[in-house]
Amino acid sequence: MFIFPLVCPPIDTNAYVIGCKVTKHAAIIDPGMGSFEFTRTFLEKQGYTLKMVLCTHSHWDHIAEAARFQEECGVPIYVHKEDAFNLIHPGQDGLPFPFPIQECTPNHLMNDGDQISLGELTLQVIHTPGHSRGGVCFYFPNENVLFSGDTLFKGTMGKVSFPTSDPMKMKGSLIRLSQLPKITRVYPGHGPETTIGQETWINKL
């Protein structure tokens, strides 16, 4: 697979353009502000076809351009069922946002354990509540890759002080992620990448 990170303003949110090198099918994970134009141009130049939008959760900085991808590219949006409400009515999670967020209706409501195919790649949905009720991670076991959203960062975790956060559930989610293979590369929603093996602090929770 290929992975191209894109840092989106105003709070340096990581969006990821990913794809299957065999079929040239691609996806955008967490389409933050400014991701649409870049992704469309980038994929056209590379000869890839966008197939889906994958949301690790529905906070505004991770869904800013989800509706635009859906409308202009005709691709489906995937989000966990517990976070779908905030795509349909942005701001219902109680978080203020610095610019308007266009509402949209997700096409697929994910559950823990779901498997999603992207060309010859297969990802597993891991429900990781804590930062938000419907937070998920996208795990590619054959590639040893995890997109952790705002659950796990390098050296720390996502905030649990928001209206839909739950500190105890976050602890359980982190412990679950720590059980993945240590070589698993982690691509978080903010900041640099890491590996499961590097995040030894989780074992002290």
* Residue pLDDT, tens place only, 56-81: 999 999 999 999 999 999 999 999 99
Banded pLDDT at 37 (limits 50, 70, 90): very high
Banded pLDDT at 199 (limits 50, 70, 90): very high
The reported pLDDT for the residue numbered 94 is 94
* Residue pLDDT, tens place only, 141-162: 999 999 999 999 999 999 999 9
The reported pLDDT for the residue numbered 141 is 98
Those residues whose C-beta lies under 8 Å from the C-beta of residue 91, and which sit 6 or more positions away, are 60, 97, 101
Q: How far is CA 151 from the centre of its chain?
A: 10
d(C-alpha 156, C-alpha 176), whole Å: 15
What residue has token string 């266009």? 102
Mean pLDDT (whole number) for 174-189:
98
Mean pLDDT (whole number) for 98-119:
97
Mean pLDDT (whole number) for 79-108:
96
The reported pLDDT for the residue numbered 167 is 97
Buried/exposed code over 64-81 (b: 16+ C-beta within 10 A; e: otherwise): bbbbbbbeebebebbbbe
Mean pLDDT (whole number) for 14-19:
98
Mean pLDDT (whole number) for 85-97:
95
